[in-house]
Amino acid sequence: MPVYSYKHPETGEIFEDLRKVEDRNKPYILKDGTKCKKIEFFEEDKAPWGWRSGREVYEVDSAWCKKCRPKYILKNNGERVRYDPTKHF
């Protein structure tokens, strides 16, 4: 079962819940009766994990890129460029 994120409508607090796929669109209901709506993964401004930040992989974790020593990297726009550790950090 996957984990889904839900946002409190008033406070903006984010809750995570483990539920079945068929129940994913049902609201998350708090003990006080407040209904929290599901955060869609493609809503960049609402995603708590920062997955779609728009940054390149070498900008997010340059140490990991240097450790892997790739010959090429694939940029967000689909362009394949030769990896240069002095340039991509």
CA atoms within 13 A on the CB side of 87: 6
The predicted-structure confidence for 34-66, as pLDDT tens digits, reads as follows: 999 988 765 545 444 444 556 777 777 777 777
- Report domain extents, the chain: 3-38, 53-89
Instruction: State the CB neighbour count (10 A cutoff) for residue 30.
Output: 13
Closest by CA to 75, choosing from 63, 89, 61, 57, is 57
Q: Where are the beta strands (DSSP E) in 1-89?
A: 3-7, 14-18, 28-29, 35-38, 72-74, 80-82
**11-42 pLDDT, tens digit each:** 988 888 899 989 988 999 999 999 999 887 65
